């Protein structure tokens, strides 16, 4: 009888764990489906993006650097952002990435890349505290006073970025920068499933980013964000 009782308890626990697992997976995939479905309608091609009016800036999200060079993913985001600028989609670029450590600097590399490819330095703003997608978009709104933006990143990431922007009250459109395949994309896709759930909760609570500070209107001179001679 004792063994039977133990088996029943183990079975109940196993059933409860299975139910919780199923509910958890359903929640994760449900949120992901909702984010992708609600954001897809704001995906644009390069040509379609140039038909928008009064775009405050093109927001290029950071994606890592190798020493003083952008990674392939970041290089492609920069190329698409620069193309949008040159095609007249907006006269301002906002480079948002991680510059939280002295020996790691995404945004100066991003700006230098754009300037070396024909963009006016004064048209390029740097957000040195874009430590996450949520923080980059929050700061684009509150620090750089952008209201209507074009976001440039890879497709898998663009769904979440557009969802965050919409929930933070920005009029945002997205251009996916996927001209090639990237090593390790499968693991990124898995992480993105969880990141979407995290930011789904973030836009409900709306926590402040790590840093705020004085406003730097993106309508002004981008060189005010320079921190190097």
Range of the domain at 128: 37-225
Which alpha helices (DSSP H) does the chain contain, by range? 2-40, 46-49, 72-86, 106-116, 133-142, 155-167, 185-205
Each residue of 25-39: pLDDT tens digit?
899 999 999 999 999
What does the pLDDT look like over 41-54, one tens digit per residue?
999 999 999 999 99
- The per-residue pLDDT for 74 is 98
Does 26 reside within a domain? no
Residue 194 pLDDT class (50, 70, 90 cuts)? very high
- Of the pLDDT bands very low, low, confident and very high (cuts 50, 70, 90), residue 228 is low
Predicted confidence (pLDDT) at residue 156 exceeds the cutoff of 80: yes
Report yes or no on 8 lying in a domain: no
Q: In this structure, is residue 208 part of a structural domain?
A: yes
- The CA distance from 157 to 152, in Å, is 9
Q: Would you place residue 22 in the very low, low, confident or very high pLDDT band (cuts 50, 70, 90)?
A: confident
Question: What's 114's domain CATH number?
Answer: 3.40.50
**How remote is the C-alpha of 205 from its chain's centroid?**
18
| pLDDT score for 4 | 60
Q: Quick check: is 48 in a domain?
A: yes
Decide if 171 is inside a domain: yes
> What is the structure's pLDDT at 1?
56
Query: For the chain, what is the mean pLDDT?
Result: 94
pLDDT higher than 70, residue 229: no
| Position 135 in a domain | yes
CA distance 100 to 142: 19
| In-domain check, residue 150 | yes
Q: What is residue 124's predicted lDDT score, i.e. its pLDDT?
A: 98
Give the model's pLDDT for residue 120.
98
Q: Which residues face 149 on adjacent strands?
A: 57, 172
Q: Which three-class secondary structure state does DSSP give residue 70?
A: strand
Distances (CA, A) of 59 to 24, 156, 173, 175, 202: 33, 16, 10, 10, 20
Residues constituting the chain: 229
Percent of the chain with pLDDT over 70: 97
Q: Domain for residue 50, yes or no?
A: yes
If you search the block for the tokens 């663009």, which residue do you land on?
158
How many domains is the chain partitioned into structurally? 1
- What percent of the chain stands above pLDDT 90? 83
């Amino acid at each position: 009888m004792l063994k039977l009782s133990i088996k029943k308890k183990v079975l109940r626990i196993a059933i409860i764990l299975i139910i919780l697992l199923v509910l958890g997976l359903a929640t994760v995939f449900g949120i992901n489906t909702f984010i992708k479905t609600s954001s897809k309608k704001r995906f644009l091609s390069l040509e379609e993006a140039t038909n928008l009016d009064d775009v405050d800036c093109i927001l290029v999200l950071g994606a890592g650097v190798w020493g003083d060079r952008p990674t392939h993913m970041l290089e492609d985001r920069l190329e698409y952002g620069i193309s949008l600028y040159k095609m007249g989609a907006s006269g301002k670029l906002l480079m948002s990435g991680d510059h939280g450590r002295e020996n790691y600097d995404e945004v100066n590399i991003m700006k230098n890349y754009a300037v070396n490819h024909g963009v006016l330095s004064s048209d390029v703003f740097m957000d040195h505290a874009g430590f996450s997608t949520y923080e980059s978009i929050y700061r684009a709104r509150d620090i750089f006073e952008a209201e209507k933006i074009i976001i440039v990143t890879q497709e898998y990431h663009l769904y979440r970025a557009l969802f965050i922007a919409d929930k933070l009250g920005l009029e945002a459109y997205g251009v996916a920068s996927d001209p090639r395949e990237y090593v390790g994309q499968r693991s990124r896709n898995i992480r993105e499933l969880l990141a979407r759930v995290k930011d789904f909760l973030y836009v409900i609570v709306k926590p402040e980013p790590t840093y705020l500070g004085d406003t730097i209107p993106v309508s002004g001179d981008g060189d005010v964000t320079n921190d190097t001679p």
